[in-house]
Structure 1
Amino acid sequence: MKSPIAFVLIITIAILGAIVVNLMSTVSPALAFAAGAVISGIACLYAPQATVTVATKEEEPPQSKTIYVGNLPYRANENDVKSLFGEYGEVFAVRLMKDKRTGKRRGFGFVVMAAAHADDAIDALNNNVYGERTLKVREANDPKKREHS
């Protein structure tokens, strides 16, 4: 047996063959099913084999990277951070964290930008002074990639 799909295909063709043969003649349903199974088995031997390729996320290079930005001035907004990182490449999104209770900014956030330019932005902006504060910039931790020990 080559694959589960081939098995299902053979059974389906056999049942359809049995119905057609049974309608066209006075042959018993069991004999019609057997004839359909033999015919579909022969057809599957000579049919071209289909190959299914499944692409996984790990095989493709990431199109974007998420960057952690810490020690931001509290008055900085999303547009300010977007234009700061925009000097180094395309910025897709900026998310600055706020306190749930007060709604005030917490001084850190995340920037999603093109993967090709993310490392340049990290190198240029890490430990750089912005708004009288020294930024901490690095690639954000991916919880899926953390090792559990």
Structure 2
Amino acid sequence: MSVQKLNAVELQQGTAASASWHRDYADTNTVYVGNLPAELNEHDLLILFSQYGVPTAVRLARDPQTGRSKRFAFLTYEAWESTVLAVDNFDSWNVTPQHRLRVNHAYYKGRGGGSGAGDDEAARWERAVQAELLDKDFA
């Protein structure tokens, strides 16, 4: 069932916030963001998603050989309530006429301890993004 349908059912039934389907994800501050335009980068995501809270991490999936976006990301917020706002407001939102976002609660563990050159490059990229977060006072 889509996020909008779940929310509509809860509104119609007068479901209390403490009983909302969102509570099933109260132990994660991370959202999945899918169907992104290939041109969007981490900084764009931070700007867009900061409307609903303070992002503390963003991981845009990229092809290890080309560095091109795989058009999905995981974004972590400082507060769980921000994930609820992001899911409710960004799911099915048209970021462009051709790209309707898919946003939902997610669990993200990060990358395991790989040993390939691609892992090293990806780790450097993530450190650069974290430095950018700190430099821009997003974290």
TM-score by length of 1: 0.51
Q: Name the CA distance, whole Å, in 1 between partners of 2:38 and 2:57.
A: 19
* Residue aligning to 2:81: 116
- Structure 1 residues not aligned, in runs of 5+: 1-60, 144-149
Instruction: Give per-residue Cα distances to partners, 1:96-139, cap 9 Å, x unaligned.
Output: 00011221111000000121211011100000011331000001
State whether structure 2 residue 94 is matched by structure 1 residue 136.
no
Aligned-residue offset at 1:142 = 5.8
TM-score by length of 2: 0.54
* Residue aligning to 2:91: 126
Question: Cα gap change, 1:84/1:96 in structure 2, threshold over 3 Å: closer, same or farther?
Answer: same
* Residue aligning to 1:83: 47
Q: Look up the equivalent residue of 1:138 and give its one-letter code.
A: N
8 Å contact from structure 2 (residues 74, 108) kept in 1: no
State whether structure 2 residue 62 is matched by structure 1 residue 98.
yes
Compare CA radii of gyration and give the structure with the larger one.
1
Question: What's the % identity of the aligned pairs?
Answer: 35
Count of residues paired in the alignment: 82
